[in-house]
Chain A
């Protein structure tokens, strides 16, 4: 079982699966893309849960 965040890769397959977390500029862009904020600008990760999968059927 893997219990630690992954920053180093031990095999080629793992490196193909994972995007390395070494490019800080690219990483910060990705983080900004997925940050969750409500109308007041406060981060709230439950906002998505309240609506997600409500429209599927």
Chain B
């Protein structure tokens, strides 16, 4: 058994493709360490402190990993040095300088849930996002696709990505970064969402 608490869980994270339109994003595959992924999935399925968040516009389970009582093997996910390395990978991939502060939230979608089209843009909010997919193998029939759009029109689809476990999408948040998650019809869809803030001079 490797010493999981000393692993860099994202040592393998490298973009396999990048795009500048309709917004800046990259796609990575197999980015989560193979020894960490099953441990993390087990914990998310059994002991993680999920809270159901419901609004008029969406419904999903969430919690902040920085507040969670993580098992030792998963402490690397919020280790400050690891977050620093992850931040530098985001900087290299997207070409922007990022501040030290990083947030990490886990999301869970159960069958029937979806996330409607939005762009994540908020005044004073996060500026960059990295979403890492985790699941036991979702089929096309299970849904839960990550959808990217050319505009705020949901019919103006740019691309639809399968939620392959261990894959990731990183993007710069802007008025153009429209995305969504289609309805989940089977299985459970977990996502780790890392949020970053642009470095401001002065």
Contacts and interface: CB of A to CB of B under 8 A. Distances in A.
Q: Do A and B come from one complex?
A: yes
Interface residues of A, number: 34
Interface string A27-44: 100110111100100010
B122 A45 contact: no
Given A31-B155, A34-B116, A51 B57 contact: yes
Interface residues of B, number: 55
Contacts, number: 120
Contact of B164 (A5, A16, A30): A16
A18 B147 CA distance: 10
B65 to A, nearest CB: 10
B57 to A, nearest CB: 5
A8 interface: no
Nearest to B181: A34
Given A19-B161, A56-B64, A5 B150 contact: yes
Interface in B123-172: 125-126, 140, 143, 145, 147, 150, 152-155, 157-162, 164, 167
